[in-house]
Amino acid sequence: MTVEHAPDPSADGRVSTGTPGLDAMLEGGLVSRRPYLIVGPSGTGKTTLALRFLCEGVRHGEHVLFVTMEEPPNEVRVNHRGLGEDLLGVDVFDAIPDIMRYERVPFKDIAAVRHAAPFAEIPLEIRRSPELAAVEVTMTGLEQMLRTEVVRRNYSRVVIDSLTAFQYFCMKGFDPVAGAQAFLRFLSDLKVTTLLTVESPLEDADTPERTLARGEIRLFRWELEGRTVRAIGVEKFRGSSHDVRLHPYRIGGPGLQVNLNVTISRDTRQIIEEPRLPEVAPTIPASAGIESSASPFDSLAEEVRDLVLIGAEVGAVRTEIEAALGAAAAGEIDRSRGHISRAQALALDLSDALRRRMEESPPVAPGVAEAYQRIVERSEAARAGIPPTRLPPTQALQIQLEWVLSTIPRAPAAVGTPMVEVPAGSSARAVVEGTAAPSLAFEDREAEVPPPPALSAAPAGTPHGPTGIPSTAEPEAPFPAVEGKPSEPVETLSEPPESTTPTPSLPTLSPEALPQPANAPAAAAEPFRGTPGEPGESGSPALPVPLLEAPSTNAWAPPTERLPPPPNEAEPERALPPQGWSAPTLPGGPLPTPRRKTRLPDEPAPPAPGPASRPLPSAERDRRPPLPFRGAEPEPPLSQLPARSASPDRPRTTYAPVPAPAAPPPLREQAAASRSAGSGAVQPPPSRDLASGPLAVRQVEPRKAEGTAPRPPGTGSPVVVAAPPPTFVPPLVAPASSASTPPSTEPASALGRESPTGMGSAPSAPPKRKRRASPSPRKKAAAAVPTGTTPLVPAPPSDTAAAAAASPRPAAMSVGTAPEVTTDGGAAIAAPKPKRRAPRKRTAPTVVRARAGAIPSAEPPPKAEAPGATPAPSESGPPNEEP
Amino acid sequence: MNAADPLAERRVGTGIPGLDRMLGGGLVAGRPFLVTGGTGSGKSLLGLQFLLEGLRHHEEVLLVAVDEPPSEIMENVRSFGWDLSQVKTLDANPGTRAIKRNMAVQEIRTMTDLKSMRDLSQDTKRGSDAEEISIQSIQLKLRQQMADKPFRRVVVDSITSVRRFTIKASADPQAERTEIQSLLRFLSESGVTALITATPSDPGVLTPEEILTRGEILLTRKWVGDRSIRQLKIVRMRGAAHDPERRPFVITNQGIVLG
């Protein structure tokens, strides 16, 4: 390209990369004094690109340093002689370890032995390892060297080639990722514009390092139709908008020749002819003076970090991110996207609420004050929850999400964290949601599944397909049970027997059932109610029945019935949080207690309620519509809402309840069933409640675990579902209430409220109040009742009795056992906290285990019914454990 | 490149004219390269042709045979009519004892010598009488050999096997990386043009030799009906303009022939 390329004069502080095409993609160049990565498979020109960057500096009279760790300096000089005279002005530091002598020779630290020298002084022959003193290249040695050299020579540009080799050969005793992180941090503190090359074995492979740098330039190499195609893209560039498209390039002349006129599709990898599209796609809407971040993760992480500093309860955000991680692990990018959007919205809501609260008395503590300042600045800018329009490959996504998670304290600080201020404002909602977050996750799944439709027909089950095979779907259901209440699983088992006939259908159904739970409250309830309840009881194979019962039974239906009763009372309140998800809501009930506990602290914040409430209503309104649609809409809204993301999230939750209203009227049983389904999801929460108030936090942890070991099963959501179990209980109550409440638009809320507050509270605004109010009640209830475990167990029996479904009841028995199972499974993950199980296990692994284990013995204990049920495996699982 | 350029690197023929053309004249002398490909893709053959090309130029060449015992290699190339008698072979096959020594091959036994070397090594990890081959022992042996007769070309066939047989190394990725790094560095400093063969690593796994070698040639074979189609691709080649496309080749009685 033209060497004369001059950076955009308007781009102050930008550093030209020396590759004109790339500068254009970066909208002027790199933001100075930060570390950046050049990632790509070998042979794509990473080193060439980096050297061009240095030569550009030399051209401007700067001192630049090239640290080589792969290629000997003499070879670099020869290989890149095409760069001309400029290269000779580049200082090079040979950081390649010597030959191992396998003898006792004194080791010398590289910083003490070698020094940077310009390429002009590099001999053409390869450096010979000294015979007597091997040089050891270590991270600390390199850092030492860089620190002194940068000071000595005042380097303004540094290239590390490569970070991969650095990790491979210079980090003995360090964890490569942790080491890289520390090193990048070091470079960041060095205040020098640094490029690090990273070798990625596959074009799409992700490396943990990429989340750490301020920007990432990625080089791709594909073989298309027998031809090798290279493309360059800016994957991440903090602090600036940039061209997000991929452009082909070739290596030739003095460097990389980027063809900006041609774009290569990221998915099909075909050339896209876009003659007149703007070359640079603004990543973010113009925001007042605030640096826009290209990566949604960056802005999110930043926001969350500040929130944490201020002491806000970010459990909800974390929960969403975990859900996103789970979805990503399951390969469900769209769902993951939804969760990310919600997380963003939650964070924004929190920020807004905090800001309102703190306006009167801004924090003074150092750090906190600064964080607050940043939050204020951000919220004053036209912030938009930037919906990730394009997510990185799943693997990359997972890593990035994990990175974001790492910035969020796991500790349920929430409980102790009084800062809960959040509650006061809209943030309160966020908090609530946070607790409910799990449920939200469910919603997403549901949304994906299109529960409503599913309810109506078996096809829905197919939708579940996402989970994959029916069996897979089942696992999900199990999860909930496992997480939340074992009892549920048991029930499922029992039910299966009944449904035995429909076995085939069951699988399908079960999946649907899951979705239904979520939807159940709203849409599903109406149509099926009659049937659902009947089927469940009768066990008739009727389609409806299968859906409700079989599916639900397996995991949900039975539980719902049984559990619902107990939960109802306690859960009602929670219903609100779960609202978004009908089922979740219910689950929320149980969880609520814990949440409420947490909330209680928050409650003090209530003063803010006014404002918060206002926002909420609007949000709720918006969301409500979505909820009905659940399946499809949820996500769309998110993406659409991005800007308003904060409100959308909440609304959704609320809305979910709304849909529920319709359902409630239909039939309690159905509602219960739906709830049960939901509860399945919710169950985990109950456990959490039992365990402790800060459920959200705990849940998060589990999820994390899951994230790491994410299981393929799309069940990730199931895990979430686990939380619902508690909900189940509430659902029971809710159903009853729902019957009365149906009229009310707010299903979830209604349900939840029924028990607690009662219908009295208004749908949108009331929720908050209800929540607040409910919290205390719940707490009491929780405390007295046994939030989690005890209540649950007892509840199932009653439910079963009520249900009059023999099989279900056995299930109840199983429920008791089921918990155990879950625990066992969970134990593997984290014996201590069931919560974790639920979240993480969402993936289904746990469920599977439970089922597997359960199958053998489980059925016997539950009853003959269990055997009959096709689902036996899962069902059986629980029973076994019970014994 | 052109003779006038003082920085121009010396090129080394691979013994396969078509490949030399793709490489823009051959491999850059004194650097290690990687040849990857599945079983039966022709890696060993390419390596042997590379060595024979060296013999034609009266260079000292060495084959580090890990995959196959030298005797079998002799058998295998008989149909090509190649004379491997001048190819020094470091018989690094773990089952070497059971193989009858073929006098036509100048074998460099690793065992005895290496034992003494091991005693000198600063951290002897292996039992004294285990006939193990390791990256470390190969390096030590090479170093010993280099002292009297500097090799110009070395083929390690294959590094994958070395890794597989070196249990201890694989137990410690860090140590293994360091050993491979050291070996390749040693070859570089010795001015040896080396070909390291390897079976493709798992996708997503980056091996140290992939990072450290200066170029990589990928051999693939796929079946179309009952015919196998062999292709060769230069995945990367530092500092050398090269043909980046996949090119078909055949194995004839002349060895690998590239169109």
What pLDDT digit, counting tens, does each position of B76-108 carry?
888 888 888 888 888 776 654 433 444 334 444
User: Which residues on chain B are in Cβ contact (under 8 Å) with A43?
Assistant: 216, 235-238
Tokens of A604: 């003090």
User: Which residues on chain A are in Cβ contact (under 8 Å) with B146?
Assistant: none
Please judge whether A96 and B182 are an interchain contact, meaning their C-beta atoms are less than 8 angstroms apart: no
Please judge whether A42 and B136 are an interchain contact, meaning their C-beta atoms are less than 8 angstroms apart: no
Number of H helices, E strands in chain B: 9, 12
Chain segment A171-182, per-residue pLDDT in tens: 877 888 888 888
Residue range A672-688: mean pLDDT, rounded: 41
Residue range A811-833: mean pLDDT, rounded: 39
Task: Give CA A450 to chain center in angstroms.
Answer: 21
Q: How far is CA A577 from CA A192, A320, A481, in A?
A: 47, 13, 20
B 177-236 residues inside an 8 A Cβ radius of A: 177-179, 181-182, 185-186, 188-189, 191, 201, 203-206, 208, 210-212, 214, 216, 233, 235-236
Please judge whether B7 and A77 are an interchain contact, meaning their C-beta atoms are less than 8 angstroms apart: yes
Find which of A290-294, A659-663, B136-140 is predicted with most confidence, using mean pLDDT: B136-140
Residue B197: per-residue pLDDT:
94
- Type and span of the H or E element at A218: strand A215-224
The domains of chain B, with CATH numbers, are 11-258 (3.40.50.300)
Of A17, A25, A86, give the one whose Cα is nearest residue A45: A17
Q: How far apart are CA B152 and CA B140, in angstroms?
A: 17
B 120-179 residues inside an 8 A Cβ radius of A: 120-123, 136, 139-140, 174, 177-179
Does ipTM surpass 0.90 in this model?
no
Chain segment A656-674, per-residue pLDDT in tens: 333 333 444 444 444 444 4
Please check the confidence at residue A154 and state whether its pLDDT lies above 80.
yes
A 588-607 residues inside an 8 A Cβ radius of B: none
User: Which residues on chain A are in Cβ contact (under 8 Å) with B204?
Assistant: 201-202, 205
Measured in degrees and rounded to the nearest 5, phi and psi for residue B155 equal -120, 125
Q: How far is CA B20 from CA A21, A369, A717, in A?
A: 33, 66, 55
Chain segment B175-216, per-residue pLDDT in tens: 788 888 888 999 999 889 999 999 987 777 888 888 889 999
Residue range A344-367: mean pLDDT, rounded: 72
Please judge whether A75 and B246 are an interchain contact, meaning their C-beta atoms are less than 8 angstroms apart: no
Q: Are A671 and A663 in contact (CB under 8 A)?
A: yes
Given CB atoms, is A97 within the 8 Å cutoff of chain B? yes
Of B41, B8, B43, give the one whose Cα is nearest residue B26: B8
Tokens of A767: 């929720």
Alpha helices in A296-358 (DSSP H): 296-310, 315-329, 333-358
DSSP state, A158?
E
Residue range A132-149: mean pLDDT, rounded: 85
User: Which residues on chain A are in Cβ contact (under 8 Å) with B244?
Assistant: 228
Q: Identify the closest residue of chain A to B30 by CA–CA distance.
A: A126
Of A42, A128, A169, the CB nearest to B216: A42
Average per-residue pLDDT for chain B: 78
Q: What percent of chain A has pLDDT over 70?
A: 37
Please judge whether A168 and B205 are an interchain contact, meaning their C-beta atoms are less than 8 angstroms apart: no
DSSP state, A713?
S
DSSP state, B154?
E
Please judge whether A71 and B246 are an interchain contact, meaning their C-beta atoms are less than 8 angstroms apart: no
Q: CA of A177, closest CA in chain B: separation in Å?
A: 14
Of B6, B7, B120, the CB nearest to A103: B120
Residue A295: per-residue pLDDT:
53
User: Which residues on chain A are in Cβ contact (under 8 Å) with B182?
Assistant: 97-100
Confidence of residue A105 (pLDDT cuts 50, 70, 90): low
Given CB atoms, is A79 within the 8 Å cutoff of chain B? yes
Residue B52: per-residue pLDDT:
93
Q: How far apart are CA B182 and CA B180, in angstroms?
A: 5
Of B7, B211, B216, the CB nearest to A70: B211
More confident residue, A290 or A411: A411
Please judge whether B235 and A42 are an interchain contact, meaning their C-beta atoms are less than 8 angstroms apart: yes
Residue to substitute from B5, B144, B166, B206, interface A, most A β-carbons within 10 A: B206
Q: How far apart are CA B36 and CA B218, in angstroms?
A: 5
Average per-residue pLDDT for chain A: 57
Q: Identify the closest residue of chain A to B248 by CA–CA distance.
A: A226
Tokens of A762: 């208004």
Amino acid (1-letter code) at residue A123: P
Please check the confidence at residue A282 and state whether its pLDDT lies above 70.
no
Of A79, A103, A172, the CB nearest to B121: A103
User: Which residues on chain B are in Cβ contact (under 8 Å) with A128?
Assistant: 189
Confidence of residue A843 (pLDDT cuts 50, 70, 90): very low
Amino acid (1-letter code) at residue A59: R
Please check the confidence at residue A706 and state whether its pLDDT lies above 80.
no
Tokens of A183: 């090193």
Residues 6+ apart with CB under 8 A from A826: A482, A483, A702, A833, A834, A836, A837, A838, A841, A846
Measured in degrees and rounded to the nearest 5, phi and psi for residue A180 equal -65, -40
User: Which residues on chain B are in Cβ contact (under 8 Å) with A162?
Assistant: 211
Residue A380: per-residue pLDDT:
57
Residues 6+ apart with CB under 8 A from B225: none
Residue range A840-844: mean pLDDT, rounded: 40
Residues 6+ apart with CB under 8 A from A519: A446, A451, A452, A454, A455, A582, A630, A631, A659, A674
Residue A610: per-residue pLDDT:
38
Residue range B23-39: mean pLDDT, rounded: 92
- Range with the poorest average pLDDT among A59-68, A851-860, B27-36: A851-860
Tokens of A349: 């809501």
Residue to substitute from B185, B202, B232, interface A, most A β-carbons within 10 A: B185
Given CB atoms, is A253 within the 8 Å cutoff of chain B? no
Please check the confidence at residue B240 and state whether its pLDDT lies above 50.
yes
More confident residue, B131 or B20: B20
Chain segment A534-572, per-residue pLDDT in tens: 333 333 333 333 333 333 333 343 333 344 444 344 443
Please judge whether A43 and B235 are an interchain contact, meaning their C-beta atoms are less than 8 angstroms apart: yes
Tokens of B13: 């023929």
Q: Are B194 and B155 in contact (CB under 8 A)?
A: yes
Residue B171: per-residue pLDDT:
64
- Which residues is B248 bridged to in the sheet? B231
Chain segment A445-459, per-residue pLDDT in tens: 333 333 333 333 333
Please judge whether B206 and A78 are an interchain contact, meaning their C-beta atoms are less than 8 angstroms apart: no
Please check the confidence at residue A92 and state whether its pLDDT lies above 80.
yes
Intra-chain end-to-end CA distance of chain B, in Å: 24
Residue range B30-43: mean pLDDT, rounded: 92
Q: How far apart are CA B58 and CA B63, in angstroms?
A: 15
C-alpha dihedral, A190 to A195 to A199 to A203, nearest 10°: 130
Q: What percent of chain A has pLDDT over 90?
A: 7
Residue B225: per-residue pLDDT:
86
Given CB atoms, is A223 within the 8 Å cutoff of chain B? yes
How many beta-carbon contacts under 8 Å exist across A and B? Answer: 111
Confidence of residue A395 (pLDDT cuts 50, 70, 90): low
Residue A160: per-residue pLDDT:
94
Please judge whether A223 and B237 are an interchain contact, meaning their C-beta atoms are less than 8 angstroms apart: no
Residue range A493-504: mean pLDDT, rounded: 38
Confidence of residue A297 (pLDDT cuts 50, 70, 90): low
Q: Looking at the whole model, is its pTM more than 0.80?
A: no
Q: Identify the closest residue of chain B to A104 by CA–CA distance.
A: B122
Please judge whether A202 and B235 are an interchain contact, meaning their C-beta atoms are less than 8 angstroms apart: no
Q: CB count, 10 Å around CB of A245?
A: 23
- Range with the poorest average pLDDT among A236-240, A410-414, A714-718: A714-718
User: Which residues on chain A are in Cβ contact (under 8 Å) with B179?
Assistant: 100
Tokens of A198: 């990273």
Chain segment A595-617, per-residue pLDDT in tens: 433 344 344 443 433 333 343 44
Residue range A687-701: mean pLDDT, rounded: 39
- Type and span of the H or E element at B33: strand B32-37
More confident residue, A355 or A227: A227
Given CB atoms, is A169 within the 8 Å cutoff of chain B? yes
Q: How far apart are CA A467 and CA A581, in angstroms?
A: 18
User: Which residues on chain B are in Cβ contact (under 8 Å) with A126?
Assistant: 30, 188-189, 191
Confidence of residue B48 (pLDDT cuts 50, 70, 90): very high
